Amino acid sequence: MNLFSKIKIGKRLMLSFAMLCVFTIAIIAVTISGLVDVTKQVNLNARNSELLLTSQDVSVYAHKIGELLAVITITNDKNQREMYKSKIGKIRLAYRSLLDSLQKQVASEEEKVLLKAVVDVITGVQVSTDQAIALADSGLLDNARSLFSEKAVVELEKITENAENFVAFQKKQILNLESKVKKTVVSLSRLVIFLGVLLVAFSIIMSTLTTRSITRPLAEIGSKIVAVADGNIASDISQELLSRSDEVGTIGKCVQNLISNLKNSIVNLTSGMKDIANSTGELQSIATTLNKETAGLKQRATTVAASTEEMSANTHSVASGMDETSNSISSVAAATEEMNATISDIAQNAEKARSVSAEAMKQGETIVDVVKKLGISAKDINTVTETITSISAQTNLLALNATIEAARAGAAGKGFAVVANEIKTLAEQTSTATGDIKAKINGIQTATEKAIADIQQITGVIKDVGDIVNGIATAIEEQSTVTKDIAANISQATDGVKDANVRIRETAKVSNEAARDISIMKNGFDGIVEVTGQVNYSTEQIVNASGKIKSIVEQFKV
DSSP string, 268-301: HHHHHHHHHHHHHHHHHHHHHHHHHHHHHHHHHH
Closest to another protein by CB, 387 or 394: 394
Please give the C-alpha separations between residue 418 and each of 216, 391, 414, 415, 428, in angstroms, as whole numbers: 17, 21, 7, 5, 15
Rounded to the nearest whole angstrom, what is the least distance from the CB of residue 407 to another protein in the complex? Answer: 5
Rounded to the nearest whole angstrom, what is the least distance from the CB of residue 221 to another protein in the complex? Answer: 18
At residue 396's C-alpha, the angle toward residues 394 and 398, to 5°, is 70
Rounded to the nearest whole angstrom, what is the least distance from the CB of residue 438 to another protein in the complex? Answer: 17
> What is the number of other CB atoms lying within 10 angstroms of the CB of residue 218?
19
Closest to another protein by CB, 132 or 420: 420
Closest to another protein by CB, 397 or 488: 397
Rounded to the nearest whole angstrom, what is the least distance from the CB of residue 249 to another protein in the complex? Answer: 15
Rounded to the nearest whole angstrom, what is the least distance from the CB of residue 420 to another protein in the complex? Answer: 9
Please give the C-alpha separations between residue 59 and each of 103, 126, 304, 463, in angstroms, as whole numbers: 16, 15, 167, 155
Rounded to the nearest whole angstrom, what is the least distance from the CB of residue 397 to another protein in the complex? Answer: 6
Rounded to the nearest whole angstrom, what is the least distance from the CB of residue 246 to another protein in the complex? Answer: 16
Closest to another protein by CB, 66 or 413: 413
Rounded to the nearest whole angstrom, what is the least distance from the CB of residue 391 to another protein in the complex? Answer: 13
Closest to another protein by CB, 322 or 399: 399
The DSSP bridge partners found for residue 232 are 557
Closest to another protein by CB, 417 or 508: 417
Closest to another protein by CB, 90 or 408: 408
The DSSP bridge partners found for residue 557 are 232
How many Cα atoms occupy the beta-carbon half-sphere of 238 within 13 Å? 12
Residues that bind another protein (CB under 8 A): 393-394, 397, 400-401, 403-405, 407-408, 410
Rounded to the nearest whole angstrom, what is the least distance from the CB of residue 370 to another protein in the complex? Answer: 37
Q: Which of 379, 383, 356, 341 is nearest to 525 (CA)?
A: 356
Task: Report the alpha-carbon distance of residue 319 to residue 513 in Å, rounded.
Answer: 18
List all residues 6 or more positions away from 465 whose beta carbon is below 8 Å from its beta carbon: 297, 353, 357, 360, 521, 524, 525, 528
Closest to another protein by CB, 128 or 395: 395
Contact 12, 213 (CB under 8 A): yes
> What φ, ψ does residue 246 adopt, rounded to 5°?
-90, -170
Closest to another protein by CB, 138 or 401: 401
- For residue 79, how far is the Cα from the chain centroid? 114
